[in-house]
Structure 1
């Protein structure tokens, strides 16, 4: 059963951590720690929700420990040597453009847009993962999409 949980969710959790850190080595380390902590607690319901919460907290904790001021000041380019599960590459120029634009918007907008449109979580699930209200998720989503549209020059419907 534990192997099924890992096989089912590792790719999505890895991508989520990678979007937040832009470091494939750190993402692997935090992915392992995420599943380790998940298995210690033996959550029964909504595995992915708890895995994302754990992953998000681990990313924040990592940067908090390092006391990095620019928590989400990410590189302008995605990792060059990435493929799932070992390396994640962004497939085409459109994805790269979107990825670069995501790095330029506020952290809370970025998280909401990633969870809502890349990971395809509902407003309610996103609010649970981020420990916030559904109203804040809706507001941050609207503001994040507006910021992306401005950065992308209205080229894309975000």
Structure 2
């Protein structure tokens, strides 16, 4: 059971922490602590939701201790790997531009946009992870996307 939970959720939790911290070593440390706490509490439902909630709290705690919560630098690691070389270059440039814009928006907008559009969680799941109302998730999503569109020059496909 534990191995299944780990295998099914490792990549999603890793990416989420990495988006928030942009630090590979810290990501691995927080990832390990996330699964440790998850197993210690014996959650049975909504595994990924609880894992992401635990991960979020660990990231917050880490940066609160360091008093640097605010703007984290997102890593613009190339994601596009398939297609013609020109397409890969163009897609990676778009990704870099998006990550650059994400760095400039408020933390609460960034977090919602990452969960909703990069990690593709529902409004309900996002609200559970962030421990807030669905209305707040919807409002922050709309505001975050508006700011991103402005930063990206009015592009509609954010």
Instruction: Name the counterpart of 1:97.
Output: 97
**Residue 70 of structure 2 is aligned to residue 72 of structure 1:** yes
Secondary structure of 1:102's counterpart equals helix
How many Å separate the matches in 2 of 1:63 and 1:74? 10
Instruction: Name the counterpart of 2:5.
Output: 5
Instruction: Name the counterpart of 1:84.
Output: none
Residue segments in structure 2 that go unaligned for 5+ positions in a row: 80-91
Report how far residue 67 of structure 1 moved.
2.1
- Aligned length in residues: 146
Instruction: Name the counterpart of 1:45.
Output: 45
How many Å separate the matches in 2 of 1:156 and 1:25? 35
Report how far residue 6 of structure 1 moved.
0.8
With the length of structure 2 as denominator, give the TM-score of the two structures: 0.88
CA RMSD of aligned residues (A): 1.3
Instruction: Name the counterpart of 1:122.
Output: 122
Report how far residue 11 of structure 1 moved.
0.7
Q: Deviations over 1:35-81 (max 9, x none)?
A: 0110111101010000000000000011111222xx13223x616xx
With the length of structure 1 as denominator, give the TM-score of the two structures: 0.88
Larger helix percent: 2
Q: Is the 8 A contact 2:38 2:50 kept in 1?
A: yes
